[in-house]
Structure 1
Amino acid sequence: MAVLSEEQSMLRDAAKSWVQEKSPVTAFRKMRDSGAELGYDAAAWNEMAEMGWAGVIIPEEYGGSNFGYLSMGLILEELGRTLTASPLLASALAAASALVLGGTDAQKSEWLPKIAEGTAVGALAVDEGAHHAPDRVAAEVKGGKLSGKKTFVLEGMAANVFVVSAKGDDGALGLYLVRGDDAGVTRTRLHLADSRGAANVEFKDAAAEPLTGGKDLLEKVLDRARAGLAAEMLGSAIQAFETTLDYLKVRVQFGQVIGSFQALQHRAAKMFTDLELARSTVEAALAAIDADSPDTPELVSLAKAKMGDTFHLVSNEMVQMHGGIGMTDAHDAGFYLKRARAAEAAFGNQAFHRDRYARIQGY
């Protein structure tokens, strides 16, 4: 595990304590069963913001703590353990990153304090099809007005401001800010397998403010979102593994605890080693972002691809090793499997990132 500073250790411990006390998996089940339109518990989100989590990567002059991306990853990992749904990834990481890296002083002053306080939610609107393909963009801006459609926008129903990829008047790809209350914004709620908040969003002559940085900014923001999501997936996969391991130690079949069966021991060992390798890649990616390392893109793609494979494996094994009960909605195993599938696809699946890694390496 990465060597943490005193502040980071305190942040991680606070997150661990909060999710165990205030946001166990039963809280996620309750939120899902309530049919919450936003896909998260607003009261829980307010508590997270009050603890300062929404401002972890935001500079101090805009109300944040500027603790960095590894610190944000520690929080997301703990939230992932209990499948806590919140706008932390979409708003406090992705949208906030776009503003920090490419916003004007006026844009930063208007939105970053609100995002840090949790009073405003940002959303990153990039994809236009069924799969992650940030280069395939039909949305365009003409005369300061943005038109186009975006799919699978995380926290799209809750967003007060959208960070939208589109082609400008010169045909170059870039990011633009669009206010959520603009008359040209239409949202359609999506019901995803993992019960998180998402929407398809249509922009029709919506007023758009450009961010500086063009396509390079888009890639930097996406890499930060990917690394954060990988950290959340790591927490979910670790919890799924630990829950399964506990079950192997108590479930008796054929007069023996099933954890004594060598075949299951081998499968558990495989999961453990994969999780350790996955942690190394995730922490390396987050540390590279904090250090502004030139190899950040390849480390992020490595982390997202490895974490996708690992969470896929562990969620499958969780269901299989729990047997019949693991296939019922009454057990939590299904939640982890559904979250794994949705998280794999978000911001690029394993195939996308293997291809991207190979291209970066020159193959």
Structure 2
Amino acid sequence: MDFNLTDEQTMLKDTVQRYLADTYDFDTRMKAVHAGTGWNPAVWKAFAEELGILGAPFAEAHGGLGGGAVENMIVMEEMGRAMVLEPYLSTVVIGGGALKAAGGALAEAVIPEIIAGNAIIAFAYAEPQGRYHLTDLVTTAKKDGAGFVLNGHKSVVTSAPYATHLLVSARTSGGQRDVGGVSLFLIPADLPGITRRDYATVDGGAAADVYFENVAVSADHLVGAADAGLAILERVVDEATAAVCAEACGLLRVLQATTLDYAKQRKQFGRPIGDFQVIQHRIVDMFLEVEQAVSITLMATLKLDTDERAAAVSMAKAKVGKAAKFVGQNAVQIHGGIGISNELSVGHYFKRATLIEGLFGSVDHHLDRYERLTMG
């Protein structure tokens, strides 16, 4: 198995890294956070028009770069380094991933709009009672003539306050937790009957609880076949989980490097705190956690198109979740009181790393899933 990046992938990495280093520093990010919008539309436009990275995982026939999961990994790690707020995960990885898996007229129409930066997708899949179980659905889409009528409630829908489209999971048949009867819909976010309760997230982004009340949905908005959406849903959630692992790797690299630099400068008793053995041990352990997270994320990404996808992703998410907790907590502790201040970037990286710990499944959830998948 080849772990080296191709020339094109290296160019993509360098391009994203340079752009973010030049235009997306901590102060610039915090301006968007304080504005309360949860993102910067001008940055999203630059991603589409100047860099072309919104097309990274899409086929050249759609106007993309012809990449896939590895390209998503590269972009997400660099976005993790800069704590990018913009919705690459929900729009490109999840929304675009679902459309790629389903194909058809809807994919042909929407994927070019994603690449152009015009379509912004929010992933409305989580429900208050569902925890991490994708089939636990109270939201229903009942057949009504040639279309469907959607009713229900989705919680913590990231990017929903400014999304143009919602990717919604709903039950079209069967009982609340049945494996069959799950369908996916990609619908305009402004359809009559859709209401939102918007709020800021702890990491500076924007999310909403989304309510559907007798929302009329055309059959043309189905992603894949009716009652058969679970396979696509499971696939895109695994792909998204691998992508947030990559984002976490970028975050953790910055936390480890920033903490090392601080330990060389901060003095106590007339000496840099990095001279003390206990601090040295912690920083070395942080480095090891980061490198292990990077390696296991790459392995999971390379297995997304194999039969080992689910087990590899759960193994990676469990390891990355532990690393996020260990590196984040130690970074804050070594920095002392300023580590949790709003003025220092470390505290904000820690918040995002903490959120990622539980995103698409906690450590315990993925350990349990890995055991079920590999031990019968």
Tell me whether the two structures share a fold, i.e. TM-score over 0.5: yes
SS of structure 2 residue aligned to 1:119: coil
Q: Quote the offset at 1:253 in angstroms.
A: 0.9
SS of structure 1 residue aligned to 2:186: strand
1:45 alignment partner in structure 2: 44
Unaligned runs of 5+ in 1: none
Contact 1:123 1:163 in 2 (8 A): yes
1:113 alignment partner in structure 2: 112
* Distance in 1 between residues matched to 2:128 and 2:371, nearest whole Å: 23
1:271 alignment partner in structure 2: 286
- Which of 141, 153, 156 is 1:152 aligned to? 156
For each residue in 1:201-223, what CA deviation from the matched residue of structure 2 results, as whole angstroms up to 9, or x when unmatched?
11122215322242111100100
Structure 1 residue identity aligned to 2:371: A
* Distance in 1 between residues matched to 2:362 and 2:68, nearest whole Å: 25
Matched, 1:92 2:104: no
* Distance in 2 between residues matched to 1:216 and 1:232, nearest whole Å: 24
1:294 alignment partner in structure 2: 307
Structure 2 residue identity aligned to 1:239: V
* Distance in 1 between residues matched to 2:136 and 2:234, nearest whole Å: 13
2:178 alignment partner in structure 1: none
2:71 alignment partner in structure 1: 71
For each residue in 1:73-129, what CA deviation from the matched residue of structure 2 results, as whole angstroms up to 9, or x when unmatched?
11111111121111101101100001110142x101221110111111012111101
* Distance in 2 between residues matched to 1:314 and 1:18, nearest whole Å: 26
* Distance in 2 between residues matched to 1:48 and 1:2, nearest whole Å: 26
* Distance in 1 between residues matched to 2:72 and 2:234, nearest whole Å: 19
Contact 1:132 1:346 in 2 (8 A): no
SS of structure 2 residue aligned to 1:157: helix
* Distance in 1 between residues matched to 2:47 and 2:260, nearest whole Å: 30
TM-score by length of 2: 0.92
Q: Which moved more, 1:164-173 or 1:148-157?
A: 164-173
SS of structure 2 residue aligned to 1:336: helix
Contact 1:326 1:334 in 2 (8 A): yes
Q: Which moved more, 1:230-239 or 1:209-218?
A: 209-218
SS of structure 1 residue aligned to 2:242: helix
Percent identity between the aligned chains? Answer: 33
* Distance in 2 between residues matched to 1:2 and 1:228, nearest whole Å: 17
SS of structure 1 residue aligned to 2:163: coil
2:254 alignment partner in structure 1: 239
SS of structure 2 residue aligned to 1:202: strand
1:255 alignment partner in structure 2: 270
SS of structure 1 residue aligned to 2:303: helix
Q: Quote the offset at 1:190 in angstroms.
A: 2.2
2:167 alignment partner in structure 1: 163
SS of structure 1 residue aligned to 2:126: coil
Q: Quote the offset at 1:288 in angstroms.
A: 1.4
Q: Quote the offset at 1:53 in angstroms.
A: 1.2
SS of structure 2 residue aligned to 1:320: helix
1:341 alignment partner in structure 2: 354
Structure 2 residue identity aligned to 1:3: N
For each residue in 1:230-272, what CA deviation from the matched residue of structure 2 results, as whole angstroms up to 9, or x when unmatched?
1111101110110001111111111111111111111111111
2:198 alignment partner in structure 1: 189
* Distance in 2 between residues matched to 1:148 and 1:57, nearest whole Å: 32
* Distance in 1 between residues matched to 2:245 and 2:198, nearest whole Å: 25
Contact 1:132 1:345 in 2 (8 A): no
1:19 alignment partner in structure 2: 20
Q: Quote the offset at 1:164 in angstroms.
A: 1.0
Matched, 1:219 2:234: yes
Structure 1 residue identity aligned to 2:63: G
* Distance in 1 between residues matched to 2:269 and 2:133, nearest whole Å: 50
* Distance in 1 between residues matched to 2:338 and 2:5, nearest whole Å: 39
For each residue in 1:143-198, what CA deviation from the matched residue of structure 2 results, as whole angstroms up to 9, or x when unmatched?
11221111111211122111111111456112122221211211211221111121
Contact 1:285 1:299 in 2 (8 A): yes
Contact 1:24 1:84 in 2 (8 A): no
SS of structure 2 residue aligned to 1:9: helix
2:4 alignment partner in structure 1: 3
For each residue in 1:312-332, what CA deviation from the matched residue of structure 2 results, as whole angstroms up to 9, or x when unmatched?
111111111111221322111
* Distance in 1 between residues matched to 2:28 and 2:325, nearest whole Å: 23
For each residue in 1:316-358, what CA deviation from the matched residue of structure 2 results, as whole angstroms up to 9, or x when unmatched?
1111111122132211111011111222222111111111111
* Distance in 1 between residues matched to 2:36 and 2:247, nearest whole Å: 23
1:280 alignment partner in structure 2: 295
Structure 2 residue identity aligned to 1:310: A
Contact 1:147 1:204 in 2 (8 A): yes
* Distance in 1 between residues matched to 2:159 and 2:337, nearest whole Å: 34
* Distance in 2 between residues matched to 1:159 and 1:95, nearest whole Å: 11
- Which of 322, 326, 334 is 2:339 aligned to? 326
Between the two proteins, the alignment pairs up a number of residues equal to 358
Contact 1:12 1:74 in 2 (8 A): yes
* Distance in 2 between residues matched to 1:193 and 1:334, nearest whole Å: 11
Q: CA RMSD in A?
A: 1.5
